[in-house]
Amino acid sequence: MNVANAVKIVASLSWLLFLGAAAIAVVRASRRQSTRGASTLVLIAGVFSLVLSSLSAGLVFISPDQRGVVISAMAPGYRSEPLEPGLRWIIPFVENVIVYPISKQTYTMSIAPLEGQRPGDDSVAARTSDGQEILLDASVFYSIDPKQMVQVHITWQNRYTDDLVRPLTRGIIRDAVSQYKVEEVVTSKRFELVAQIRQTMSDKLNENGLILVDFVLRNITFSPEYAASVEQKQIAEQQAQQARLVVEQRRQEAEQARQSAQGQADAVVIRAEGDAAARLLQAEAEAKALELIAAALEDSPDLLTYQYISKLAPGIQVMLVPNDTPYLLPLPTMGPTLPGEALPGAAPTTAPTTIP
């Protein structure tokens, strides 16, 4: 309880005291009794009540979340500055104070019956640039500018919510939505739309002495026909996306098969190239060996005979060959021999014996 209210209560009690003293005086007068003491009490109670009433009428307490506009019976009819928080004094019975809140206020327009300031469907119906009608739920957070409090009272009094905030918000939302397509409103351009509405509302409210704290676009509702078409489009897009995923999967599988076949083909080519290179090296080595052997035989003709003989078994002393077959290799001359004498170690030439 503030001081101003306490003074008003005391003033009310003093008037009750005055009425009681007056009643006592009237009763004593009707009984032809002395009213001198009662009259004095009535006079004192009356003066005390009048003083307290005048004091209570002049005291005004303004809380921190309020400002007071002083309305005066004298020209120009109001004070140019609002009353600040605290206990303030005005001219009794000549001035009075209208208190306005400067705290944050909220105005909500919603399709839900019990969410908004007005019962029933209070959403904002707007039409997009491509002709689609949508319903928008919105909330406006605002406050009165303390510096423009007197002007707000002069222009709007206590009608600023219904006559300014509500129609201004609905009109700005409709104008902003009309600049976008319906798909843009709900997807890529929604934040841009909200920013545009917020900026326009801030400018308009400031012109009328209000401060925009925030604007929230709560919900967007489509017509049943458009909602059905959006659902069908989403289903088609999901099916197309699934088909693209299947195609991509098949493409990846084909690419893997191609890479596997390419790897196998490359392995065959590498293996063939390795075999060919090995054969080439072997042929080159054999050719080089033959060249060396030919060169050796050219320098030592008897080397081949020597190699042949050295490969024979060491225990062979006699060699039998057919009488009509020449020697495989020319035997070297081991030394001078007599006619009919065989060379030492040479096989005798005899004809094969035929056994009947």
Interval 172-214: pLDDT, tens: 999 999 999 988 988 889 999 999 999 999 999 999 999 999 9
Q: List, in order of start, the domains of the chain with CATH numbers.
A: 3-101 (no CATH), 105-222 (3.30.479.30)
pLDDT, tens only, 271-287: 888 888 888 888 888 88
- Residue 181 CA to residue 56 CA, distance in Å, equals 61
- Residue 193 CA to residue 307 CA, distance in Å, equals 106
CB 59 within 8 A of CB 51: no
Please give the residue that has the higher pLDDT: either 12 or 295: 12
* Confidence band of 105 (pLDDT split at 50, 70, 90): very high
Averaged over 64-77, what is the pLDDT? Answer: 91
For all residues of the chain together, what is the average pLDDT? 82
Quote the crossing angle between the two packed helices 36-58 and 3-30, to the nearest 10°: 160
- Residue 95 CA to residue 169 CA, distance in Å, equals 35
pLDDT of 352: 44
Q: How many angstroms separate the Cα of 292 from the Cα of each of 279, 281, 287, 298, 309? A: 20, 16, 9, 10, 21
pLDDT of 170: 96
Please give the residue that has the higher pLDDT: either 2 or 248: 248
Q: Is pLDDT above 50 for 355?
A: no
* Confidence band of 262 (pLDDT split at 50, 70, 90): confident
Please report where in the chains the tokens 């060699």 appear, as a residue.
319
Q: Is pLDDT above 50 for 55?
A: yes
Residue type, 198: R
pLDDT of 304: 65
144: nearest Cα among 228, 42, 68, 220: 68
Which two structure tokens, joined as six digits, stand for 215?
A: 């604007």
**Is this model's pTM higher than 0.75 or not?**
no
**Torsions phi, psi for 72 (to 5 deg):** -120, 150
* Confidence band of 266 (pLDDT split at 50, 70, 90): confident
The SS3 of residue 242 is helix
